[in-house]
Amino acid sequence: MSDAPESGFSLELGEDLARTREWLHEFAASVIRPAGAEWDEREETPWPVLEEAAKIGLYSLDFYTQQYLEPSGLGIPVVFEELFWGDAGIGMSLAGSTLAALSVAANGTPEQVGEWCPQMFGGPGDVKLGAFCSSEPEAGSDVSAIRTRAVYDAAAGEWVLNGVKTWATNGGIAEVHVVVASVDPSLGSRGQASFVVPPGTPGLSMGQKFRKHGIRASHTAEVVLSDVRIPERCVLGGRDRLEERLARVKESGHAGGQAAMRTFEASRPGVAAMAVGIARAAAEYAAEYATRRVQFGRPIGQNQAVAFMLADMAAAVDAARLLTWRAAWMARQGRPFRRAEGSMSKLVAGETAVRVTEQAIQILGGNGYTREYPVERWHRDAKIFTIFEGTSEIQRMLIGRTITGLDVR
Ligand SMILES: Cc1cc2nc3c(=O)[nH]c(=O)nc-3n(C[C@H](O)[C@H](O)[C@H](O)COP(=O)(O)OP(=O)(O)OC[C@H]3O[C@@H](n4cnc5c(N)ncnc54)[C@H](O)[C@@H]3O)c2cc1C
């Protein structure tokens, strides 16, 4: 990111960002958290909450762009931590479009960003969503196995997409879908490109909607692409650049990175911050509970076994946040992740969220195991963070490769 200003790493948030955090915390505490249980049960996109967030300027392309461009790089981590502290299912509905927008920003031209990103958010009274569709039934961790084909019909000046995408957040209900497809299957992942499918394009339909373990207020579904015809300009980066890239790959055997991987690299610290938000919610909730719940004539928190668990939880949350902020700061300064720092943040934050939410259930005892209390939901929600955007195993593989230089498989 050459336009990024150089800024020293600091744990002190700037005044604007500190104020933004307070504002978001207020919204998370008063609107998101109270709605969490209801939308988890309903397993539906919480449109009324999105509306409220749009009304105050939170669910908007402008707000997210401002946070992505925040000079310290900590804008997005701070925003996502607060939203997911409120509730992760609703948080994912509020954040899901950003992954699609990020893929356009990472791979598209300025004109494409200007045309498509605003349509992924809409505005107050007319809220919209974006969806990023990379995963397929046979291509999860292995992005190179993507079978969805994009064929250029020169006579019509159109791309024709065919295939089945799965696990797409907002898939089928989004205004704009970004689809990763293979243009030249003989080149594997190097032969892939990302395409925007404009609103209302015939041939794109929703397949199965998944009923999930957690983040149930976030819609996840298959997206079926059947002879989907889109204008030439819908390939991200433009057709000329794509043709040049494919020619370079054929000539030299390598060129640039994979379209899907570029999106994931850019989004990893943000995803880590979401997990930090859940973990912090659980650690705070359990600490508060442990001071109130009395057994054997004293608060359970006075037992070293419980206090040590709370200590581990608090330390783990802070450690995860530090890795997350470091990665986000490095990304904003345009520093390369030489030690896979982005993957480190996602790995540690995701596993921290699972562990800390489980410990929170333990501290709440029977109450923790019921739906009367939020920690069982947070535990279910946390689990996705070791699976999507690269599983924990894939993060370890990437870190392992980076620090050893070996072709770890
Ligand atoms: C709720 C939800 C939302 C999602 N949202 C999106 C979205 O918006 N867009 C999108 O494109 N995708 C999305 N995904 C897909 C997600 O990114 C994939 O589920 C994830 O990449 C894992 O792929 P998979 O499920 O096919 O698992 P697999 O790749 O089949 O992995 C299964 C297991 O094998 C392990 N494994 C696989 N390969 C290796 C290896 N080489 N070494 C070691 N272990 C390995 C994995 O770590 C895992 O434990 C979402 C998924 C879910 C569940």
394 lines ligand 1 (CB under 6 A): yes
Average confidence (pLDDT) over 167-177: 98
Residue nearest to atom 26 of ligand 1 (CA): 140
For 234, 370, 401, the CA distances from 91, given in Å and listed in that order, are 29, 22, 32
Query: Of 212, 218, 313, 321, which Cα lies nearest the Cα of 270?
Result: 321
pLDDT at 377 over 80: yes
133 lines ligand 1 (CB under 6 A): yes
Residue nearest to atom 35 of ligand 1 (CA): 393
* Contact predicate 75/67, CB 8 Å: yes
166 lines ligand 1 (CB under 6 A): no
pLDDT of residue 258: 59
pLDDT of residue 7: 72
* Contact predicate 324/269, CB 8 Å: yes
Average confidence (pLDDT) over 212-224: 98
How many beta carbons lie within 10 A of that of residue 354, not counting itself? 20
pLDDT of residue 39: 98
pLDDT of residue 261: 63
Mean per-residue pLDDT of the chain: 95
pLDDT at 145 over 70: yes
Rounded-to-10 torsion of CA 111, 113, 119, 123: -110
Average confidence (pLDDT) over 188-206: 97
Test site for ligand 1: of 84, 133, 141, most ligand atoms within 8 A of the Cβ = 141
Residue nearest to atom 17 of ligand 1 (CA): 388
Strand, coil or helix: what is 316? helix
pLDDT of residue 259: 58
Q: Report the atom number in ligand 1 closest to the C-alpha of 171.
A: 8
| pLDDT interval class at 1 (50, 70, 90) | very low
How many beta carbons lie within 10 A of that of residue 146, not counting itself? 26
| pLDDT interval class at 2 (50, 70, 90) | very low
How many beta carbons lie within 10 A of that of residue 18, not counting itself? 12
**In what helix (H) or strand (E) does residue 240 lie, and over which residues does it extend?**
helix 239-252
> CA 408, 348, 396: angle at the middle one, nearest 5?
5
Q: Report the atom number in ligand 1 closest to the C-alpha of 218.
A: 1
Residue-wise pLDDT tens digits, 51-96: 999 999 999 999 999 999 999 999 999 999 999 999 999 999 999 9
